[in-house]
Amino acid sequence: MNLSRNSISLRKAFAAAAALACLLPAASLHAQRLPSTVVPTHYALTLTPDLKAAAFTGVETIDVSLKQPASSITLNAVEIAFQSVTITANGKTQTASVSLDKAAEQATFTVPGTLLAGRATLTIHYTGILNNELRGFYLSKTAHRNYAVTQFESTDARRAFPSFDEPAFKAAFDVSLIIDSGDTAISNGPIVSDTPGPGTARHTLRFLTTPKMSTYLVAFLVGDFQCTSGQQDGVAIRVCATPDKVAFTPYGVDVAKYVLHYYNTYFGIPYPLKKLDLIALPDFEAGAMENFGAITYRETDLLLDPRTASIGAKKDVAEVIAHEMAHQWFGDLVTMQWWNNVWLNEGFATWMENKPVAAMHPEWNIDQDVAAGMDNTLNLDAQPTTRAIRAKADTREEIEQMFDGISYGKASDVLLMVENYVGPETFRKGVHNYLAAHLYANATAEDFWNAQAAASRKPVDKIMDSFVAQPGVPILTIAELENLNVAVAQKRFFLSPSIQPDPAQKWTLPVCFKTGATGNDQTCEVLTPSSTSLKIPPSGLFFANAGGKGYYRSAYPAGVYANLVAHVETGLTPTERISLLGDEWAQLRANKVPAGEYLDLVAAVKADPNAAVISSALGGVSAIHARVAASPEEKAALSSWIRKNFSPQYAKLGAPSASNTPNTRELRASLFGVLGYYGKDPAVLAQAHEIAEKYVADQASVDPTLGQTALAIAARNGDAALFDQLQKIYETSTNPEFQIGALRLLAQFENPQLAQRSLDYAISGKVRSQDAAIQLAIALQIDATRDMAWKYIQSHWDTIHGLLTPELGNILVGSTGAFCSADARDDVLQFFANHKVSSAEQAAKHAIERIDGCIELRNLQQPRLKSWLAAQPE
């Protein structure tokens, strides 16, 4: 599964929480594992959905193997009404009674006589509901009609069919759907028959038997989907959408074709199914879901018009496609044994998604985006509350909270570090061996790192165990350089200087030193808990994180750091500059250096030609503006410094041109954005309104990457006429990027009357439930609207709580971390103590920690910033 780009990235724009959660009754805290004495081997499902009545009927047979005699069989079921259940074994069919355990989400079938060990077949007739909760078998709606679609990860297949709903219970599936004659359907396999009836108004679609797979990967979708088709390596590929959006599907076909061939070659294991469908759904909670052969997406994560799409949107769609397709191997073909190792799915897919996209579009500088993403994850993992990559996940709530920045980001970054250490080809061989050993089966973390240790003959098992089993980030304190050795001390790093780490916590990790001009010129040494020094290269610029691929922070002696700053543009690669900027920000946050020292480093890279480097540098500048500078005078002085340093850089780029590279377009937009948002540059503000007007009138008339940035600046300062325009775009446009972009901007208007309109609109019913809380979360991120938004949330809580989906609950709760005062912290703490949001426990803790962190940061750094600003030349 891919966290929605609204949440992964509310990572880029609004820093909201990315962890998934589930809003469920407290009873589900007692969810239980199924016994291992009954193992399913095959399901046959025939489902008849009624889209108007929002209900369905099901007829199901499950072939099972009993390991020992029994008189009952227990499986998972939620919101299922059983009509009849029989169990056939040893030539005898018995009618079973049904008892339900709602708290455990289980049903037990009991028969009068004993079932002998061996094979048995369950036959179940039942009914269910097509819910509005974006999970299980649910309704998705457009203005024209209803669709019936599925989302089963992690534990919601049981809402569509009684099942052994745990990842280790793999089985084959035969799916048939009885649907309205004018509709079609999509499932994991291709359609093998389409027959009229039953009745004159329906037809029955039967799909090819699937390979063995986990229940959470089953999918069936019913409606009038239309598709664009392609073919690659003998596999039929389709990208499908509702009829009004099918024009936005060809881009996805092109990406999927490239990625499929890349993965077939990289893994050395061909994609195992005959077809691959990618389907955009109007209502979808996450970003995407890797159902085997039938991947589902939010519309914004699959559909776009390449003529008018921003560079960021093209990257995002390509990466989400690549992420979910990687899951066809990591997760679908080979599945983690249990949810505590979900990183084996998500970390791998996050690490892997970058490879085909970088190969397909080298001009996108994906490696720099990866470095910036690692920096964000290092900060996430340095908060007071974090967790190990592998953690306890027994209940539904615990399972859902595993889908966070640790399983995705940290796990991916650790894999990148290990790959860099052993070498890409050796690592690829280890990946192949791991997959080949567990095809159509389940695996553990130990299975993976043992395969890598065997392939590389290096201590990969010790390194990965060190990072998977314990939480947090190591910081390496480098001593003065002496000959060919350097003393290195390691400890756990916290952003807050008030937290003292446990001195016993240490890691085994590869430390790669720079030896040449590129990120690949390196020599690596393994630092162990008992190590006190490492060998270093004989000459050249000393940098202890070659390529910026190590999952650790570095702290250098003053002289070494000064030398790095002096040669930052000539001696370091772009990814290494991003790493150095991140390390310096971490030192600032931990109060080891003053804010001015970080801003001096930013000034040293201000002319950098790489968009990701400038974006990383400006991320720290914007944080200082928002969370350190407290008075209007300080903010004005910092705005002046921004204009002085970055207005000339923006001017150097000149006017947008069709010949501009993607990097130049993103660089221009980043500089334009910081000058408009924080620099308050009058010329940029005026230009923003001009560009925004053109962009709204005709998206193709301006560079869309710049157009979207200009429109965002214009919205911050916008009037009712612009608000009305954006609202109309949201309600009438069929282009998902333009449509949802307009919706998001409604939440950024700072005019109080328009901010109030935006809040009212978010919960009016005109905004999909998958988007409503995001609108409120955006308003919480903006200084001018934060207090208004929080009061609104409190006074409309019952309505808002009813709109929350699992992911959105965490995003909304996490976004309250934008406050920066003790009074606001206490208010947030008290409110959520009295208004629980199930599974948002970690998000609530992180929010309070962010507020406390901001208070601490401001108290420590504001006086230092004030002095530095006063010393700046006019």
Positions marked catalytic: 324
d(CA 514, CA 535): 12
Environment class of residue 870 by beta-carbon count within 10 Å: exposed (0-12), middle (13-18) or buried (19+)?
Answer: exposed
> Other C-beta atoms within 10 Å of 767: how many?
19
The Cα-based distances of 624 to 376, 498, 670 in angstroms read: 16, 20, 17
With a CB cutoff of 8 Å and minimum separation 6, the contacts of 650 are 668, 671, 672, 675, 684
* Token reading at 140: 């998705």
The residue to which tokens 């008030």 are assigned: 498
With the C-alpha atoms ordered 235, 241, 247, 251, is the resulting torsion angle positive or negative? negative
> Other C-beta atoms within 10 Å of 660: how many?
18
d(CA 802, CA 714): 32
Rama region for 547: left / alpha / beta (φ>0; ψ in -120 to 50; rest): left
The residue to which tokens 């073919």 are assigned: 231
* Token reading at 751: 């005019």
Contact assessment for residue 331 and residue 166, using Cβ atoms and an 8 Å cutoff = no
* Token reading at 329: 């191997």
Virtual torsion, Cα 710, 712, 713, 719, nearest 10 deg: 110
Instruction: Give the residue from 296, 301, 324 showing the smallest Cα distance to 312.
Output: 301
Question: How many Cα atoms within 13 Å fall on the side-chain side of residue 694?
Answer: 14
d(CA 842, CA 385): 8
The Cα-based distances of 767 to 106, 320, 559, 739, 797 in angstroms read: 35, 24, 55, 12, 17
Contact assessment for residue 364 and residue 317, using Cβ atoms and an 8 Å cutoff = no
DSSP 85-115: EEEEETTEEEEPEEEEETTTTEEEEEEEEEE
- The bridge status of strand 136-141 relative to strand 553-555 is unpaired
User: What kind and span of H or E run contains 830?
Assistant: helix 822-834
Report which DSSP code applies to 131.
B
> Other C-beta atoms within 10 Å of 357: how many?
25
DSSP 186-218: EESSPEEEEEE-SSSSEEEEEEPPP-SB-GGG-
The Cα-based distances of 577 to 11, 133, 336, 587, 604 in angstroms read: 20, 44, 36, 15, 11
Contact assessment for residue 685 and residue 717, using Cβ atoms and an 8 Å cutoff = yes
Virtual torsion, Cα 140, 142, 143, 147, nearest 10 deg: -60
Contact assessment for residue 114 and residue 70, using Cβ atoms and an 8 Å cutoff = yes
Q: Whats the size of the chain, residue-wise?
A: 874
d(CA 601, CA 577): 10
d(CA 609, CA 653): 10
**CA 179, chain centre distance (Å):** 34
The Cα-based distances of 871 to 592, 600, 631, 633, 865 in angstroms read: 20, 12, 17, 14, 10
- Please give the single-letter amino acid code of residue 841: E
